Structure 1
C-alpha cells in the first residue's frame, strides 16, 4: 500500500505540475465562466434593442420597404403595411443593389408579391412577417366581400384551448441539451487522458525506465498508481470546469430565461447526478485501464496511435449510441447498449435522465459495469507485466492470450 501511495503521488504531482495542463484548464474555466454569463451580456447589450424591435404581432417593428403596383392598391393596403418607399420596382432594385436597403417588397395584389433582396439569409424574418400581414389583409377582404364579419371569424379561429400537461414519469425534452453536453465532456475526457496514460506507459517502456520501476515495485502497483493519478487529474480538471460553471450560473441566474431555469432544475435532480457520477467514473476508469494495457503492448511511443485505434473505434461507436439515446431513449438498441459496459457509461445515464428506468435495470447495469472494471483492471495488470520486458516487435493480442496458459 505504501508503494502504491508513492507511485500515485509521484504520477499525480507530475501531471499537476505540467504548465500546459494548468494553462489549458485556466483558459477553459474562463471560457465556461463567459459562456454562463451570456444571458447577462445579452441583457446588457441586446435587451433594449430586442424590446424596441418587437411589434404587436410578435415580429419586428422595423418598417418594411414597399413598392405598390398601382395607386388603388396603395390606398387600400398602405394604412396597414405602410407607405411606399419607392415608386417603381426598378427603383427598389437599384436601392437594394446599392445596399441602401437590405430588402424590399413589390405588392402586386392582395395575394401576390415579389421579394427583392441582395443576398439570401437564413435568419431573415421580414419576408415571413410581411407575408403573414398580407395574408391576413387578403382574408379580411374576402370575408367582407362574402358578407362575413371578419372580426368575429378571427375571434372564432383564434379561440384558445386550455390544456394542462402532467408527466407522471420524466420529461425527455428538458434534459436533452444537458445530456448532450455531458456526453461531449466525457468523450473528450476519455480520449485525452486515455491517450495520455497509453503514451506515458509506452514512453517508460521505450526509454527502459519500466525495467527500473519493476525492480523496485510490482506491475500491479505501477499500473494502479498511474491509472489512479491520471484518472484523478482528469476528474479534477472537470471538477474545476463544473465549479466555474456553477459560479457563473449563480452570478447570472437572474438573467437566465425562465424556461432554461426550469429545464436545469427539472432534469438535474440529485438521483440523476449520482447516476451520472457512478457510470461516468466507472466508465472513465475502465477505458483508462484499457489504454494503459494497449500502451504496454508497444515498444515505441510512435506506435501508440495504431495500438489504441481499435478501442478508439469502439469509443466512437459508444458516442453514436449515446447520440441516438438523446433523441430516442426508449428504443430497443438503446436499452440493449445500456447493459454493455463500454457503451453504458453514456446510454444508461441518458436513459435514466430522459425516461423512466426500473431500479432493477439500473442495478444490473451498474453491477455489470463494476465487474467489467475489475476484470479489465486485472487483465491490464497482466498485460502490463507480460509486456514490460518484451521489446522489439509490437506484441499481438494472441501472444497475451497464450501467456495465460503458461
Structure 2
C-alpha cells in the first residue's frame, strides 16, 4: 500500500509545482476576477456613464417630446437630445463619436410617425430595437387618437393579458425556484465539463509521458497496474480539487464584494440564494463520479500511446463524448422534462451532466437519481477492471500506437505476463 501513496503524492506534488499548472491557475483566477467585476470594468471604459446618447432631428416639431417620454419608459439609459442643426451636421457629429446614433422623425401621408436611424455601425441591435419599440407605441397612441379612442379605452388596449402558469405535479418547482435551479445547474455544468476535459487529458498525458521516458517499465514491475492507475487518477483528482478550491474561493469573495452591481445582471435573472442542500450534494456526487468515469477511461487510453503527440488523437472520441453530453445538457436547460433528456440521463457517459440537470431542474423520483448513480458506479467498476488489464499491457507497448486495435494487443500482453 505504501507504493500506492508514494505514486499518489508524487503525482500530486509534481503536477502542483509545474509551471503550466501555476500559470493556468493564475490566468483562470484573473478570468474569474474579471467576470465577477465585469460591471466595474465596463464602467471604467464607458465614458458616457452607461448612457447611450442619440441625436433627434424632429422635422415635425411635435414628435420629440412624446417620443422622448416613450423611450424613457422602455430604457432609462437612452439619452435623447434634440439636434438643432442640419442632417449633414448630425451625421458628422455621429461620425465624430459625440452620439451613438441619430434618428430622424417625420410623418407619413396618414400623419403617423416614421423614422430613419443612422449610426456608424448598426451592430448595436438593442438600441435600435428600443427606439423602434418606442416609436411603435407612439404610433399606436396617435392612431388611437385619430379614431377617437378615449384614454380609458387606450389603457385597456395596452393592459397586459392575464396569463398564469400552474404546475399540477406534486412538489413541482415554482418559477422562482426554476430560475434559481437553472442558474446553479448552468454554472455547475460548466465546472463538470471543463474539469473532465482538462484533468482527464492531464491523466492521459501523464501516462504517455512516463511511457516515453521508459519510467513505466520500472514502475510496472514494482506496483500493480490497478494501484498505479488509481494512484495517478486520485493524485490528479486532488490536484483538480486544489485548483477548484482556489477558483471557488476567489470567485466567492469577489462575488460577495460585487453582489450589488451583479443583481441587475446574472443574479437578477437567476439568483443564488438558498440553494437546496440536496442540489449541492448531488452536484458533488455527480462531479466526483463523472471525474472518475472519464479519468479511468483516459488512463488506459493514454497507456496505449508511446508518444505524447499521439495522446490527443487517442482521446478524441472520449472528448467528443463529453462535448455531446454538454450540448445535450444545454438543450435540456430549456426542456428538462423532454423524453430525450430522460433517456440520455441513464447513458453512463452522459449521466454526470444530464442526470444532475434533471435533479436540479425537476422533482424526479429518488430512485431515478439513485439508478443514475448506480449506473455510473457500475460503469466505473467495469472500466477499472477492464482498464487495469489494458493498462498493464498497454504501458509495455512501444512504437507507433494510435489505433483502438491496440487494446487487443494490450490485453494479449497482459495474458502473457
- Which TM-score bucket, shorter chain as reference? 0.7 to 0.9
Shift of 1:332: 1.5
Shift of 1:8: 0.9
Q: Per-residue CA shift, 1:297-328, capped at 9, x if unaligned?
A: 12222322222222222222222222222222
Cα distance, 1:107–1:278 mapped onto 2, change above 3 Å: same
Shift of 1:48: 9.6
Are 1:326 and 1:350, in contact at CA under 8 Å, matched by a contact in 2? Answer: yes
Number of the residue aligned with 1:244: 250
Matched, 1:38 2:38: yes
Cα distance, 1:146–1:380 mapped onto 2, change above 3 Å: closer
Number of the residue aligned with 1:265: 272
Q: How does 1:7-406 map to 2 (within 5 A)?
A: 7-39=7-39, 49-50=49-50, 64-68=55-59, 73-74=60-61, 76-77=62-63, 80-81=66-67, 85=83, 102-109=101-108, 110-123=111-124, 127-128=128-129, 130-149=131-150, 151-159=151-159, 168-170=171-173, 171-257=177-263, 260=267, 263-265=270-272, 268-394=275-401, 396-400=406-410
Q: TM-score, normalised by structure 2?
A: 0.81
Q: Per-residue CA shift, 1:167-187, capped at 9, x if unaligned?
A: 642244433344333223322
Shift of 1:40: 5.3
In structure 2, the residue corresponding to 1:345 is in which secondary structure? Answer: helix
In structure 2, the residue corresponding to 1:65 is in which secondary structure? Answer: strand
Shift of 1:284: 0.7
Q: Which runs of no fewer than 5 residues in structure 2 stay unpaired?
A: 69-80
Q: Which moved more, 1:365-374 or 1:109-118?
A: 109-118
Are 1:89 and 1:106, in contact at CA under 8 Å, matched by a contact in 2? Answer: no
Are 1:34 and 1:248, in contact at CA under 8 Å, matched by a contact in 2? Answer: no
- RMSD after superposition: 3.3
Q: Per-residue CA shift, 1:330-373, capped at 9, x if unaligned?
A: 11121111111111011011111112221000011101111111
Cα distance, 1:78–1:197 mapped onto 2, change above 3 Å: closer
CA distance in 1, matches of 2:140, 2:226: 80
CA distance in 2, matches of 1:164, 1:141: 32
Are 1:67 and 1:92, in contact at CA under 8 Å, matched by a contact in 2? Answer: no
Q: Which moved more, 1:121-130 or 1:107-116?
A: 121-130
Q: Which runs of no fewer than 5 residues in structure 1 stay unpaired?
A: 54-59
Structure with greater Cα Rg: 1
Are 1:96 and 1:116, in contact at CA under 8 Å, matched by a contact in 2? Answer: no
In structure 1, the residue corresponding to 2:258 is in which secondary structure? Answer: helix
Q: Per-residue CA shift, 1:174-223, capped at 9, x if unaligned?
A: 33344333223322222222222112212222222111112332222211
Q: Which moved more, 1:163-172 or 1:304-313?
A: 163-172
Are 1:282 and 1:345, in contact at CA under 8 Å, matched by a contact in 2? Answer: yes
Q: Per-residue CA shift, 1:223-272, capped at 9, x if unaligned?
A: 12111111211122112111111111222234431782683336832111
CA distance in 2, matches of 1:383, 1:254: 54
CA distance in 1, matches of 2:103, 2:349: 56
Q: Which moved more, 1:139-148 or 1:157-166?
A: 157-166
Are 1:8 and 1:229, in contact at CA under 8 Å, matched by a contact in 2? Answer: yes
